[in-house]
Chains A and B, each alone.
Chain A
Amino acid sequence: MANTDTADTAEPTRRDFLYIATGGVAAVGAALTVWPFIDQMNPDAAALALAQVEVDVSALEPGMSLTVKWRGKPVFVRNRTEKEIDESKAVPVSSLPDPVARNANLPASAEATDANRAADGREAWLIQIGICTHLGCVPLGQQGAYGGWFCPCHGSVYDTAGRIRQGPAPQNLHIPVYSFISESKLRIG
């Protein structure tokens, strides 16, 4: 074989082409077959159906909060006090561990200023997903060194604008898409 076929092995033959083509088709077929078995674990149609929640927030006086469940997650709605807003505004953005607003209603590059964290045109209102960006626990409100939120699981501390200040969490509390559809009604999602 080695003596007679040197020319063939040096230059690919029709048979080599068929082997590679068959193998390639088999590999693509295997990958296509595996995909449904992987993709079945992704969120299904029911989970993807974009749920919207409407909440009446008219009863919230300054200093009061409520928690709404949206897509299985808690959403914190807080009507902040003057003191909380002032404390938040006094912090220079450059000193924050996470300088980005994490506000789904704004461009991804928006700075984590108090105005970019609070509701548009309603600086007292702070609406955020109540899930610690570290490992997913629900932080406790109005606790911790900055008077904002404190996560009991691993000690992350957030300020009165929900921005991470201390501890292992890498990001500010996320802000979901929302809008005020009237003076008293808030729609999340």
Chain B
Amino acid sequence: MEGHSTYQPTNGAAKWLERRLPVIGLVHSSFVAYPTPRNLNYWWTFGAILSFVLVAQIITGIVLAMHYVPAGSMAFNSVEAIMRDVNFGWLLRYLHANGASLFFFAVYIHMFRGMYYGSYKEPREVLWILGVLILLLMIAAAFMGYVLPWGQMSFWAATVITNLFSAIPLVGTAITEWLWGGFSVDSATLNRFYALHYLLPFMIAGVVVLHVWALHVTGQNNPLGIDIKSKKDTVAFTPYATIKDMFATVVFLILLAWMVFYLPNYAGHPDNYIPADPLKTPAHIVPEWYFLPFYAILRAIPNKLAGVIALFSAIAVLFVLPWLDTSRVRSARFRPIYRQFFWIFVIVCIGLGYLGSQPAEGGYVIASRILTAYYFIHFLIILPVIGLIERPKPLPNSISESVLQGSGGGATATTTGSEG
């Protein structure tokens, strides 16, 4: 990309360091001089928001770890002590719990943004795959974190999710007992989940570095989905993107503060304030909201192994998305048919989330089956077929031409309010 090596150290110490380790130059070319498309909209600020939330989760997590006790007999009480006795413990725990919720909220928007604007397409396939890998690590981290308070929902979430592995033929039981470190979820399970919950965010941070690296090799996609053709198509990362990202992060923080101070338990379940009881399952167990669509897919299928396979496939299919979408046009602005199916897909995902929160009976199961089938049909049939039959609208000649004409749609000038 252009923008590399524009940094010229001026003072002696910076020159000395730059000759030995060009780290200031790296930061300068990546986050100051880096050319960013001039037509980016606010949907592009979620990368910065997510980076901020990851750091915030690590910081609140580390201080919570100073007060939490990962033993079956003490975990629940140590969380209550954090809430009642530790100075500002209630604030730190609510920040961490609601931060996790909003982390998923932001990552789902970030992913839908990528799907709408075709950000996963050539040459950004690896960038997208790294993102899906981050999602997988986030799912593991969030699940293990949810187990730590050792309430009823924690315990039974741990039981149900680890039992997914018992569906594997022949070795399933051995793997499950290996995960548990016993014959049921118990203190040994809690202790190892705690160790892994501490590890995973740093693994996420590592993959985020690769994700940003890949992004800076290919350059950012943009709402028009066309390549940068000249310097006129870009603006410098600092101050333009920096300030815009910071503003969006502050708006996002208002949402987090509203959750933390006014609705701290809205995303949680009252049952998790009952200590874990291995002899009694709560009448209605549901995962956190961000897992509900996947939970609905699991329950939609009346066969244990097939249900587990469908659950994992729902995420695995995202890895091959770049090759399932056969259209060369990236942005849905120029894809009239895909744009409609994109919104149907969003509604199906929300619908699956709703069904995952309802009891597994009657009409809910039938609806779950229909939406689960649609979820896979979208990726495996609709996307490949639309790319072949759809006639895209003409693309503008360049980003700058489109921007200077005063409408996001460029030559076609027919963008609708429904985009993004």
**B292 / chain A contacts, CB cutoff of 8 Å:** none
Contacts of A140 in B (CB 8 A): 283
The answer to whether A170 and B182 touch across the interface, beta carbons within 8 angstroms, is: no
Contact B183 A170 (CB under 8 A): no
In the assembled complex, how far is the CB of residue A136 from the closest CB belonging to chain B, in whole angstroms?
4
A133 to B180, CA, bound (A): 16
A50 nearest CB across to chain B (Å)? 11
Q: Is B263 an interface residue (CB 8 A)?
A: no
**B181 interface neighbour in A42, A67, A154, Cβ under 8 Å:** A42
Confirm or deny: B60 has a beta carbon within 8 angstroms of a beta carbon on chain A: no
Q: Which residue of B lies closest to A74 (CB)?
A: B279
Q: Does A43 contact B (CB under 8 A)?
A: yes
Q: Nearest Cβ in chain B — how far from A82, in angstroms?
A: 28
A47 to B301, CA, bound (A): 34
Query: B411 to nearest A CB, angstroms?
Result: 53
**Chain A 68-81 interface 0/1 with B at a Cβ cutoff of 8 Å (1 = within):** 01011110000000
Which one, B160, B303, B365, contacts A153 given CB within 8 A?
B160
- Residues facing B in A61-93 (CB within 8 A) are 67, 69, 71-74
- In the complex formed, the residue of A with least CB distance to B174 is A42
Q: Is the CB of B278 within 8 A of A137?
A: no
Asked if A135 and B159 make an inter-chain contact with CB atoms under 8 angstroms apart, the answer reads yes
Q: Which residues of A sit under 8 angstroms from B192, Cβ to Cβ? A: 41
Interface centre among B162, B166, B183, B301 (most CB of A within 10 A): B183
Residue of A47, A67, A74, A135 ringed by the most chain B CB atoms within 10 A:
A135
Task: Please give, as numbers and ranges, the residues of chain B lying within 8 Å of A74 by CB-CB distance.
Answer: 278-279
Known contacts being A154-B299, A168-B303, is A41 close to B178, with CB within 8 Å? yes
| Residue B119 at the chain A interface, CB threshold 8 Å | no
Does A152 touch B at the CB level, under 8 Å? Answer: yes
The answer to whether A138 and B181 have CB atoms under 8 Å apart is no
Which residues in A have their C-beta under 8 angstroms from that of B325?
none
A155 CB–B CB distance under 8 Å: yes
Known A41-B181, A73-B184, A155-B360: A67·B285 in contact at CB below 8 Å: no
Max chain B C-beta neighbours (<10 A), residue from A73, A136, A139, A152: A136
Residue of A at shortest CB range from B365? A155
- Binary CB contact string for chain A from 131 to 158 against chain B (1 if under 8 A, 0 otherwise): 1011111111000000000011111000
Q: Are B164 and A138 in contact (CB under 8 A)?
A: no
- CB neighbours (8 Å) of A43 from chain B are 177, 180-183, 188
B361's nearest neighbour on chain A, judged by CB, is A155
Q: Does A44 contact B (CB under 8 A)?
A: yes
Which residues of chain B in 144-161 are interfacial with respect to chain A, using CB atoms and an 8 Å cutoff? 156, 159-161
Whether A152 contacts B304 by the Cβ 8 Å rule is no
B304 touches A69 (CB 8 A): no
Which residues of B from 178 to 208 have beta carbons under 8 Å from A? 178-186, 188, 192
Does B177 lie within 8 Å of A152, measured CB to CB? no
Complex: how many Å from CA A167 to CA B160?
A: 16
The answer, yes or no, to whether B12 is at the interface (CB within 8 Å) is no
- A127 interface residue (CB < 8 Å to B): no
Which one of B159, B166, B183, B283 contacts A152 once the chains associate, using CB atoms below 8 Å? Answer: B283
Residues of chain A contacted by B285 (CB below 8 angstroms): 137, 152-153
CB-CB < 8 A to A152: which residues of B?
Answer: 281-285
Given contacts A152-B283, A155-B360, A168-B301, contact A69 B278 (CB under 8 A): yes
Please report which residues of chain B, range 302-358, place their CB below 8 angstroms from some CB of chain A when the two chains form the complex. 302-305, 307
Q: State the CA gap A167–B362 with chains docked (Å).
A: 12
The yes or no answer to A169 lying at the interface (CB within 8 A) is yes
A137–B360 touching, CB < 8 Å: no
Of the candidates B159, B166, B180, B305, the one whose C-beta lies within 8 Å of that of A137 is: B159
- Closest chain A CB from B319 CB (angstroms): 25
Residue B163 at the A interface, CB < 8 A? yes
Chain A residues lying within 8 Å of B360, measured Cβ to Cβ, are 153-155
B20 at the interface (CB under 8 A from A): no
Could you mark each residue 91-133 of chain A with 1 if its beta carbon is under 8 Å from any beta carbon of chain B, else 0? 0000000000000000000000000000000000000001101
Binary contact track B252-289/A, C-beta < 8 Å → 1, others 0: 00000000000000000000000000111111110000
A67 and B361 CA atoms in complex are apart in Å by 27
* Contact present for A69 and B279 (CB under 8 Å): yes
* A40 nearest in chain B by CB position: B181
Instruction: Determine the distance from Cα of A170 to Cα of B177 in the docked complex, in whole angstroms.
Output: 19
How distant is B125 from chain A, measured CB to nearest CB, in Å?
32
Closest 10 CB pairs between A and B?
Answer: A72-B184, A136-B163, A135-B163, A137-B281, A135-B160, A47-B182, A138-B281, A155-B360, A136-B159, A71-B183
A residues touching B (Cβ–Cβ < 8 Å)? 38, 41-44, 47, 67, 69, 71-74, 130-131, 133-140, 151-155, 167-170
* 6 A–B pairs (Cβ distance < 8 Å), ordered by A: A41-B179, A43-B177, A134-B163, A152-B282, A153-B160, A169-B304
Beyond A134-B304, A155-B359, A170-B304, 10 additional contacts (C-beta under 8 Å) are: A41-B178, A43-B180, A47-B186, A69-B278, A72-B183, A73-B278, A135-B166, A136-B160, A153-B281, A169-B304
